[in-house]
């Protein structure tokens, strides 16, 4: 039986970049679909199933931030890797907060790009695996398939990156993860963010999930090492 290739959508208006990414992704065994502007990219992502969307920020007709915002607002869960020549931290934070799984600053090496793509697809496959779909932790319920978190039955609004970080810690089985380990697992290898970014995301998660964020019961700091997730309340 012939294996079905996973499809990746590239939304990029620079033809030379598109061609380079397409050739290398196809060499890795993916089927690639391309779109040259934001409107066409959004339409393609809405109409078809993709394993991943590679999305430039600066696009004609609709920028990448608006594309990912619209996709998430409509409930599309396809992983998104954003590309941009703008390396400002606020741009990266905006992309991740809107629901992108990774943000790569141009110029980048093709080896790094492919490694980041594989990391995002691997995390997505784990999140969708049925064997660990729901994790219960006191009043919290974390559903890996729907990417929903509830506290006392009430839905908690998390960004895509907040959810990925929570799942990273929850699936460690109580093991302490260093900030470097978290950065690699959640943001992918070669990410150039700072370790302080992780601390900020943990603070955001505590404010949303903990009864008393100043005395967390689940998202616990291990001084000098990193963080661990405790399922008991």
Q: Where are the domains of the chain?
A: 7-128, 130-229
Please state, in angstroms and rounded to a whole number, the distance separating the CA atoms of residues 209 and 132: 20
Q: Would the pLDDT of 1 be above 70?
A: no
Instruction: Evaluate the omega torsion of the peptide bond into residue 21 and state whether it is cis, within 30 degrees of 0.
Output: no
Give residue 73's pLDDT. 86
Q: List Cα–Cα distances, 118 to 44, 59, 72, 79, 145, in angstroms.
A: 22, 24, 21, 11, 19
Topology annotation, domain 130-229: Arc Repressor Mutant, subunit A (1.10.10)
Beta strands in 64-110 (DSSP E): 80-84, 102-105
Query: Nearest Cα to 33, choosing from 15, 53, 60?
Result: 53
**Is residue 2 scored above 80 in pLDDT?**
no
Work out the average pLDDT over 195-199.
Answer: 85
**What is the rounded distance in angstroms from the CA atom of residue 5 to the CA atom of residue 7?**
6
Q: Is the pLDDT of residue 227 over 90?
A: yes
Q: Give the model confidence (pLDDT) of 95-154 as tens digits.
A: 888 889 899 999 999 999 999 999 899 878 776 665 556 788 888 999 887 889 999 889
Taken as a whole, the chain contains a residue count of 233
| Domain 7-128 coded CATH 3.30.930.10 | no
The mean pLDDT value for 147-169 works out to: 90
């Amino acid at each position: 039986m012939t294996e079905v290739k996973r499809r990746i959508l590239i939304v990029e208006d620079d033809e030379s970049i598109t061609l380079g990414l397409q050739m290398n992704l196809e060499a890795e065994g993916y089927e690639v679909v391309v779109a040259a502007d934001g409107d066409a990219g959004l339409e393609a992502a809405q109409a078809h199933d993709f394993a991943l969307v590679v999305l430039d920020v600066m696009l004609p007709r609709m920028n990448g931030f608006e594309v990912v915002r619209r996709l998430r607002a409509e409930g599309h869960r396809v992983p998104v890797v954003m590309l941009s020549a703008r390396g400002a931290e606020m741009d990266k934070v905006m992309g991740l907060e809107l629901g992108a799984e990774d943000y790569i600053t141009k110029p980048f090496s093709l080896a790094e790009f492919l490694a980041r793509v594989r990391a995002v697809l691997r995390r997505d496959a784990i999140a969708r695996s049925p064997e660990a779909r729901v994790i219960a932790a006191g009043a919290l319920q974390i559903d890996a398939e729907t990417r929903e978190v509830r506290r006392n039955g009430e839905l908690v609004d998390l960004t895509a990156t907040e959810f990925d970080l929570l799942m990273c810690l929850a699936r460690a089985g109580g093991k302490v993860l260093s900030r470097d380990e978290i950065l690699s697992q959640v943001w992918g290898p070669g990410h150039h963010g700072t370790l302080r970014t992780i601390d900020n995301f943990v603070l955001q998660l505590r404010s949303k999930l903990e009864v008393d964020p100043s005395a967390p019961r689940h998202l616990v700091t291990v001084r000098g090492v990193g963080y661990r997730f405790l399922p008991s309340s």
